Amino acid sequence: MAAVLAIALKDLKLLFRVRAAFFFTMVWPLLVAVVFGSLFGGGNRGPSRIAIAVTDEDRTTASTAFVDGLAAREGFDVLRTTDTEARDLVRRGRRIGAILVPKGFGAASEHLFYGASPKVELRIDPARQVETSMLQGFILEQGAKRMQTLFDDPGNGEARVAGMLADVRKAPAGAIAGQAALQNMLTSLDTYLAEQKRADAAGAGASGARPKAAGAGWQPIEIAVSSIERHREGPANGYQITFPQGMQWGILGCMMSFAVSLAVERSRGTLTRLLMSPAPSWALLAGKGLACYLAILIVQTVLMAIGATFFGVRPSSWLLLGLALVVVPIGFVGIMMFVASLGTTEQGSAGAGWAIMMPMSMLGGGMVPLAVMPEWMQSVSAISPVKWMIVAYEGAIWRGFSLAEMAVPCAILVTIGVVAFALGARRFHATLA
């Protein structure tokens, strides 16, 4: 056992002292995972905001409140600027639309139901139909708020209604359509708001707090918003796809390094020296296998830790992730031994290894995600150990596997590992003879 551990420790030292091997087993997989994860959409940044430019030429309390309302609205990225620049920004595609609040907006906002309505101008790229509708809806909502403010604060609303009533009474007969009816409506509204104000005052005196009167704060429609977590059927972000793929490159890097190292031991004569020692030849293979297992385990764990800490690759089950981390290396240690037995020179082992593993990677979803492969290819991919490695990780990360579901890829990988190791060890001994 001491010989096995000594060989494993020696091989791990050698692996991490070869800069190229370290790069391709640790750094390269991380680069693949991060770069492709970013290209596939990266992390959850939330929905993108609609970028608009707003020009307030009126500069009254009402116009400022309107623009502030836009800016405070979630989902909008508001830039306050001049009309000329706003148009230019839209033309150059930097902003989806431009809203101009012209002079007279504040004055028109003083009255309701009669006279000119407050007006805003919306300039927008005609190709952005969806955004146009959203902006129009939002501007209408801002307009409706003018009416709502009457009821939010009965004291202020009463003053505004009184002003409008005075305007209507002063207006010459026939100047306002439906003038008599409007006057009646405003009078009734004035009475209603005065009663609301009294009710508020009575409530405040009774309890010290300010309870709302029955009609205070009335709105045309009230929307109650509550959160329901959406059940995700896919990955939460691109990194959850690319990190298992990146880990695959780390595993292949380790595997190939160890497969070639056996050929290097042959060519450098260290294999001969080891075989001349009292340590049995199985200890040599076991030591190599143990070193390869530990190297893959370390590489996977480090990559997974980086993914979980910085890129939102959080597993749905830590237990299943642990199982995948422990089982996946078994499959690839076996393949390493088989590949190592295929060549007696460094070039032979490396050539045979990549010739086997590149198609396995392509078929198994190591290069193109399994989810986007055609159905027939997904069926064929079952022959690739890379597929089962990725399925195991995805099962633990975002597929929400049960233990029974996770047992399938794990059992396949263990079987592949044991069979390949046995075949490789047999071939290796045959080449020694």
Partner 1 sequence: MLTLTALVKQFGTSRAVDGLSLSVGRGEVFGLLGPNGAGKSTTVHMAVGILEPTAGQVDVGGLGSPTRPSVRARIGVAPQSLSLYELLTGDENLRFFGTIYGMPAAALAARVTWALEFVGLVDRRHDRVETYSGGMKRRLNLAAAILHDPDLVLLDEPTVGVDPQSRNAIFDSLLALKREGKTIVYTTHYMEEAERLCDRVAIMDHGKLLALDTVHGLTQTHGGPPTLILRTPNGEERIETRDPLAELNRQAAARGAAMPAEFEVATPTLEQVFLHLTGRSIRD
Give the sign of the dihedral formed by CA 114, CA 116, CA 120, CA 121.
Answer: positive
- Please, what is the minimum distance in Å from the beta carbon of residue 277 to partner 1? 5
Kindly state the tokens that stand for 256: 């190939």
Identify which range of 171-179, 273-281, 374-382, 386-394 contacts partner 1 by CB under 8 A: 273-281
The verdict on 130 binding partner 1 (CB under 8 A) reads: no
Burial class (CB in 10 A: 0-12, 13-18, 19+), 232: exposed
Identify which range of 46-54, 228-236, 276-284, 361-369 contacts partner 1 by CB under 8 A: 276-284
Q: How many CB atoms lie within 10 A of CB 269?
A: 9
The verdict on 174 binding partner 1 (CB under 8 A) reads: no
Q: Do residues 285 and 428 touch, judged by C-beta distance below 8 A? A: yes
What is the distance between the alpha carbons of residues 97 and 95, in angstroms, rounded to a whole number?
Answer: 6
CA dist list (Å): 105 to 65, 82, 178: 11, 17, 24
DSSP 80: E
The verdict on 7 binding partner 1 (CB under 8 A) reads: yes
CA dist list (Å): 143 to 103, 114, 152, 220, 223: 16, 15, 15, 12, 17
Identify which range of 4-12, 30-38, 193-201, 309-317 contacts partner 1 by CB under 8 A: 4-12
What is the distance between the alpha carbons of residues 71 and 77, in angstroms, rounded to a whole number?
Answer: 7
The verdict on 44 binding partner 1 (CB under 8 A) reads: no
What is the distance between the alpha carbons of residues 223 and 184, in angstroms, rounded to a whole number?
Answer: 32
Secondary structure of residue 401 in the 3-state scheme? coil
The verdict on 274 binding partner 1 (CB under 8 A) reads: yes
- Please, what is the minimum distance in Å from the beta carbon of residue 341 to partner 1? 18
Q: 276, 374, 376, 404: which one contacts partner 1 (CB under 8 A)?
A: 276
Q: Letter for the amino acid at 400?
A: G
- Please, what is the minimum distance in Å from the beta carbon of residue 26 to partner 1? 17
The verdict on 269 binding partner 1 (CB under 8 A) reads: yes
Q: Tell me, by CB under 8 A, how many residues bind partner 1.
A: 22
Q: 59, 94, 169, 268: which one contacts partner 1 (CB under 8 A)?
A: 268
Kindly state the tokens that stand for 137: 């809806």
- Please, what is the minimum distance in Å from the beta carbon of residue 413 to partner 1? 31
Bridge partners, residue 78, by sequence: 52
What is the distance between the alpha carbons of residues 327 and 411, in angstroms, rounded to a whole number?
Answer: 9
The verdict on 431 binding partner 1 (CB under 8 A) reads: no
Q: Do residues 324 and 395 touch, judged by C-beta distance below 8 A? A: yes
Whose structure tokens read 């986007």? 372
The verdict on 14 binding partner 1 (CB under 8 A) reads: yes
Q: 75, 211, 234, 280: which one contacts partner 1 (CB under 8 A)?
A: 280
The verdict on 1 binding partner 1 (CB under 8 A) reads: no
The verdict on 6 binding partner 1 (CB under 8 A) reads: yes
Bridge partners, residue 80, by sequence: 54
- Please, what is the minimum distance in Å from the beta carbon of residue 255 to partner 1? 19
Identify which range of 52-60, 73-81, 262-270, 291-299 contacts partner 1 by CB under 8 A: 262-270
Kindly state the tokens that stand for 388: 């089962």
Q: 10, 87, 123, 427: which one contacts partner 1 (CB under 8 A)?
A: 10
Identify which range of 58-66, 87-95, 263-271, 415-423 contacts partner 1 by CB under 8 A: 263-271
Mark residues 86-125: x for contact with partner 1 by CB under 8 A, - for none: ----------------------------------------
Identify which range of 59-67, 219-227, 269-277, 341-349 contacts partner 1 by CB under 8 A: 269-277
The verdict on 275 binding partner 1 (CB under 8 A) reads: yes
Note the helical H segments in 78-128.
83-91, 105-109
- Please, what is the minimum distance in Å from the beta carbon of residue 11 to partner 1? 10
CA dist list (Å): 195 to 155, 192, 214, 217, 366: 10, 5, 11, 14, 72
Identify which range of 72-80, 96-104, 268-276, 375-383 contacts partner 1 by CB under 8 A: 268-276
Q: Do residues 253 and 29 touch, judged by C-beta distance below 8 A? A: yes
CA dist list (Å): 375 to 11, 358, 372, 398: 41, 20, 9, 21
Q: 82, 219, 277, 347: which one contacts partner 1 (CB under 8 A)?
A: 277
Whose structure tokens read 């927008």? 124
Q: 49, 273, 426, 429: which one contacts partner 1 (CB under 8 A)?
A: 273
Select 15 or 425, whichever has its Cβ closest to partner 1: 15
Q: 47, 126, 174, 278: which one contacts partner 1 (CB under 8 A)?
A: 278
Q: Which residues bind partner 1 (CB under 8 A)?
A: 2-3, 6-7, 10, 13-14, 17-18, 268-270, 272-280, 433
